[in-house]
A and B are shown apart, each in its own frame.
Chain A
Amino acid sequence: MLRALSRLSTSGFRSVARTRTGYSAPLASRCYSHGKVETEEEFDSRWVTYFSKPDIDAWELRKGMNTLIGYDLVPEPKILDSALRACRRLNDLASAIRILEAVKDKAGPHKEIYPYVIQELKPTLTELGISTPEELGID
């Protein structure tokens, strides 16, 4: 859903009104003319796995985040949860808050996405003691 919503980059013909319920067709992240197309679920679980590596190092965390943010989509809360937990393992609060800022930026003109993501992540943010940029007054 978030992927479909955010892909308004150039053309406006993709419907903004698509909702998650009943929508299960796989979306290609890349528009290849051939080859196996990765489903949204596969994409998400690949990234959750990436950030769940117990001994992930700081470089890998930053590299993963940069690659993820480079895609034309807003990452699912479950991926962000995994990334925030990686920040916790690495004692990197700065990157954790930066991730939230990046999510808001990726949503672009779709101002309803960021509050939704924060709402989904609230339990994790509380558990890990991560403040949002808004709470810190740095937004």
Chain B
Amino acid sequence: MAHQAHAYHMVDPSPWPLTGAVAALLMTSGLAIWMHFHTMTLMSLGLLLLLLTMYQWWRDIIREGTFQGHHTPPVQKGLRYGMILFITSEVFFFLGFFWAFYHSSLAPTPELGGCWPPTGITTLNPFEVPLLNTAVLLASGVTVTWAHHSIMEGQRKQAIQSLTLTILLGFYFTALQAMEYYEAPFTIADGVYGSTFFVATGFHGLHVIIGSTFLAVCLLRQAQYHFTSDHHFGFEAAAWYWHFVDVVWLFLYISIYWWGS
């Protein structure tokens, strides 16, 4: 039939789930090949396919929503549920690393000297760069909220400015953290302290980069008039993700940088 008698979106057949699955297969087997035979070809191919899949899949979603009008209120509600469930799964992901940290730090083993920080570890001063990083992310939470209100009020220029500022703050955090990693007096190989520190903060940093990228895409879309004052779920999803990244940092800061020092 020519018209649907419901408000939902029956998505057209798409090759991207398959290419995504193939990418996952190539990346994982490529990782194994890299480890045993020292060649990165398969893994790089998988990574390339993954990037292409993401680009084309999300481009299609933008086409379906912004240009073809498929994102009716019930569809948008489903997208909201989806983003919330995804972020919840990420919360559990980080919960695991916090579990590892607290397991190791509340009851430090004799090998560490029975104390935390372990014997021989010089921790970072929580009131130096880590505190600046906290301020940077909190400020970026303010600017992203400013951007949201600008979009809702139809203030195009302010939306672009505040969103740009948010992204710049995100980059500043990443740069500061990269410098901290380079200058740190301990490495990931330094016992359970190094492991918990770098795995937890490392995955957080990766999420900052992902979040910054998501916001950057929103900036490009805002510049190209994709968002309206009532309908801008892509931006809201990016903002939720960004707030999640900020909250994870606050927990990291309090637990690992401050209490753990």
Contact = CB atoms under 8 A, between A and B. Distances in A.
B114 A65 contact: yes
Nearest to A57: B107
B106 interface: yes
B103 interface: yes
B109 interface: yes
Interface string B26-46: 000000000000000000000
Nearest to A98: B114
A66 interface: yes
B101 to A, nearest CB: 14
Contacts, number: 26
A102 B114 contact: yes
A62 interface: yes
B108 interface: yes
A58 B114 CA distance: 12
B110 A98 contact: yes
A60 B113 CA distance: 16
B103 A62 contact: no
Contacts of B103: 59
Interface of B: 103, 106-110, 113-116
20 contacts: A59-B103, A59-B107, A60-B107, A61-B107, A62-B107, A62-B108, A62-B114, A63-B106, A63-B107, A65-B114, A66-B106, A66-B107, A66-B108, A66-B114, A66-B116, A92-B110, A94-B110, A95-B114, A98-B110, A98-B113
